[in-house]
């Protein structure tokens, strides 16, 4: 469905435009969450609205995504698809193939995290003609301009192209541009109200920066963004949010930045602008534990006053030794320091952990479970999800694992089944350890969450189990999983 046509309040309430704008179609593959398609919003908004008509089709909003997509292809100059590693690849493939079958002449361009890491490999798929690496705004604008003018993409920085003779041309990389130089994201390109309805809350997704300056060895960001970070200037950010609020009256903003708190002064200035503008909203963002320690008290206070309600602080491991090995560049004491400040200011927390790193010792896994226990018991508003390490392509740990014989998928179909969140852990977690961790996760969650009166006895039992690390005969868990099957996350 064309977002622009279905949205009740289109952003670009258009003055008269030239009749024949060039149509550009963008597709967001199916996924389980209803985060707004910010990547497509970013590249679509950068195209001059006087020259281009941008149509975003989101597979998550459509009963029949293929039909919705194909209906928009006549007259389009290209199809752009955003592709994350894992399950979204299979939908991206299906749609790209369907598009090619209908319009064999239509250039299909893949961008986003997977094609950024596998620029050439993705082009082994005949339905994909171009892959874009890293930041996409300028590269896509140039691709679209060249395609409209009938020019070749040879020499177009930031992308890899299959040429007419079948050879692959790798163009030079494009340097990261400041996000302040781009046009404001045009939320009129997507049906914002539908996302609110699907999320069940008036929550706006927003991105205020790109990239990350850190070097965690399990993350693909250092590979994709080259350890660089660019962020919106705070006055502009607050102003844009104010304008969006006037239009959409959201209650909450979910910042999707990798590291929102990279520049403390930017964050404090943003919070002050929000306070000065009188905008009543709450917001959530990501923070590193070391950033929380460095953030001045005044900035914490302003953030809270301006509506900061929740922080996501990646802890990853409860063992300082493992934190060193994965180059997280934080220490456990910093996690607790930041958690204490969050508690003081009444800010909720998500503290995700990862277990099952290659050759991780039992002691290291136990340190993680202990750390999760300690954090979780500090506040019912602190969640400590535990994920299994999956080798993110592009990360340093994967290079090491591959050197030691770990086999990464070869084909896009295989990558599509490479499910990071759900599913079984990697080969580094024994069946016995897996059983223990799964039981721990269940009882640990039950022990500290807010429960109804009827659940209190079970909760006491769960606390007893966690305190003593006794997870044998998990009857409560089996019964509960039987009643409510585990959620699938991708």
Interacting residues with ligand SF4 (CB under 6 A): 212, 214, 216, 219, 221-222, 258-259, 288, 314
If one asks whether residue 37 binds ligand B12 (CB under 6 A), the answer comes out as yes
CA 139 to chain centre: 21
Minimum distance, C-beta of residue 175 to ligand SF4, in the bound complex (Å) = 19
Residues making up the chain, counted from first to last: 490
Residue 346 and residue 392 in contact, taking contact as beta carbons nearer than 8 Å:
no
* Distances 393 to 11, 90, 357, 410 between C-alpha atoms, Å: 37, 17, 14, 12
Query: 113 or 471: whose CB is closer to ligand B12?
Result: 113
In 359-466, where do the E strands start and end?
382-383, 386-388
3-state secondary structure of 167: coil
Token pair for 41? 């919003």
3-state secondary structure of 23: strand
Residues whose CB falls within 8 Å of the CB of residue 357, separated by 6 or more in sequence, listed in order: 218, 317, 322, 325, 326, 364, 389, 397, 428
If one asks whether residue 87 binds ligand B12 (CB under 6 A), the answer comes out as yes
If one asks whether residue 35 binds ligand B12 (CB under 6 A), the answer comes out as yes
Environment class of 104 (CB within 10 Å of its CB; exposed 0-12, middle 13-18, buried 19+): exposed
Residues whose CB falls within 8 Å of the CB of residue 461, separated by 6 or more in sequence, listed in order: 476
Q: Given CA atoms 83, 86, 90, 91 in this order, what sign does their dihedral have?
A: negative
If one asks whether residue 451 binds ligand B12 (CB under 6 A), the answer comes out as no
If one asks whether residue 204 binds ligand B12 (CB under 6 A), the answer comes out as no
Query: 308 or 462: whose CB is closer to ligand B12?
Result: 308
* Distance between CA atoms of residues 445 and 484, nearest Å: 15
190 binds, among ligand SF4, ligand B12, none (CB under 5 to 8 A by kind): none
Q: By rule CB under 6 A, what string of x and - marks binding of each residue 361-400 to ligand B12?
A: -------------------------------x--------
Residues 313-332 touching ligand B12, rule: CB under 6 A, are none
214 binds, among ligand B12, ligand SF4, none (CB under 5 to 8 A by kind): ligand SF4
Minimum distance, C-beta of residue 292 to ligand SF4, in the bound complex (Å) = 13
312 beta partners: 286, 350
Query: 115 or 394: whose CB is closer to ligand SF4?
Result: 394
If one asks whether residue 208 binds ligand B12 (CB under 6 A), the answer comes out as no
Minimum distance, C-beta of residue 255 to ligand B12, in the bound complex (Å) = 9
Q: Using the rule CB under 6 A, which residue among 31, 95, 284, 477 binds ligand B12?
A: 31
216 binds, among ligand B12, ligand SF4, none (CB under 5 to 8 A by kind): ligand SF4
Q: Using the rule CB under 6 A, which residue among 2, 348, 421, 451 binds ligand B12?
A: 421
DSSP 276-289: HHT---EEEEE--H
If one asks whether residue 136 binds ligand B12 (CB under 6 A), the answer comes out as yes
If one asks whether residue 207 binds ligand B12 (CB under 6 A), the answer comes out as yes
Minimum distance, C-beta of residue 410 to ligand B12, in the bound complex (Å) = 17
3-state secondary structure of 84: coil
Q: Which residues bind ligand B12 (CB under 6 A)?
A: 28, 31, 33, 35, 37-39, 42-43, 80-82, 84-88, 109, 111-114, 132, 135-137, 140, 207, 210, 219-221, 256-258, 392, 419-421, 490
């Amino acid at each position: 469905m064309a977002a622009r046509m279905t949205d009740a309040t289109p952003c670009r309430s258009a003055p008269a435009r030239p009749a024949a704008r060039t149509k550009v179609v963008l597709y967001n593959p199916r996924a389980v969450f209803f985060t707004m398609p910010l990547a497509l919003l970013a590249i679509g908004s950068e195209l001059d609205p006087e020259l281009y008509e941008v149509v975003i089709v989101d597979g998550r909003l459509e009963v029949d995504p293929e039909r919705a997509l194909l209906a928009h292809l006549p007259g389009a100059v290209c199809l752009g698809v955003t592709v994350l590693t894992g399950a979204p690849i299979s939908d991206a493939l299906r749609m790209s193939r369907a598009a090619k079958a209908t319009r064999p002449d239509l250039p299909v361009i893949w961008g986003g995290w997977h094609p950024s890491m596998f620029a050439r490999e993705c082009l082994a798929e005949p339905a994909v003609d171009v892959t874009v690496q890293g930041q996409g705004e300028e590269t896509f604008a140039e691709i679209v301009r060249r395609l409209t003018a009938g020019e070749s993409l040879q020499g177009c920085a930031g992308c890899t192209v299959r040429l007419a003779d079948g050879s692959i041309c790798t163009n030079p990389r494009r340097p990261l541009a400041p996000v302040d130089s781009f046009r404001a994201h045009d939320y009129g390109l997507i049906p914002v109200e539908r996302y609110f309805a699907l999320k069940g809350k008036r929550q706006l997704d927003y991105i205020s920066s790109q990239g990350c300056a850190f070097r965690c060895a399990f993350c693909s960001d250092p590979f994709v963004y080259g350890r660089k970070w660019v962020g919106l200037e705070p006055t502009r950010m607050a102003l844009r949010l104010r304008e969006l609020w006037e239009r959409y009256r959201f209650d909450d903003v979910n910042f999707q930045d990798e590291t929102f708190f990279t520049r403390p002064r930017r964050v404090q200035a943003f919070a002050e602008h929000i306070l000065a503008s009188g905008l009543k909203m709450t917001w959530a963002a990501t923070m590193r534990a070391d950033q929380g320690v460095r953030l001045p008290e005044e900035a914490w206070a302003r953030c809270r006053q301006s509506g900061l309600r929740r922080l996501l602080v990646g802890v990853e491991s409860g063992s300082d030794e493992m934190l060193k090995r994965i180059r997280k560049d934080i220490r456990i004491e910093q996690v607790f320091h930041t958690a204490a400040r969050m508690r003081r200011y009444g800010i909720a927390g998500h503290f995700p952990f990862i277990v099952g790193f290659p050759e991780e010792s039992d002691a290291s896994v136990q340190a993680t479970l202990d750390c999760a226990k300690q954090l979780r018991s500090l506040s019912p508003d602190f969640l400590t999800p535990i994920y299994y390490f999956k080798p993110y392509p592009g990360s340093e740990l994967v290079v090491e694992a591959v050197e030691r014989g770990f086999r990464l998928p070869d084909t896009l179909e295989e990558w599509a089944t490479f499910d990071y969140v759900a599913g079984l852990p990697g080969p580094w977690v024994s069946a016995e350890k897996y059983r223990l961790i799964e039981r721990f996760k269940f009882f640990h969650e039950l022990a500290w969450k807010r429960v109804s009166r009827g659940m209190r006895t079970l909760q006491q039992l769960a606390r007893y189990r966690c305190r003593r690390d006794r997870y044998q005969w998990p009857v409560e868990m089996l019964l509960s999983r039987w009643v409510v099957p585990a959620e699938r996350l991708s």
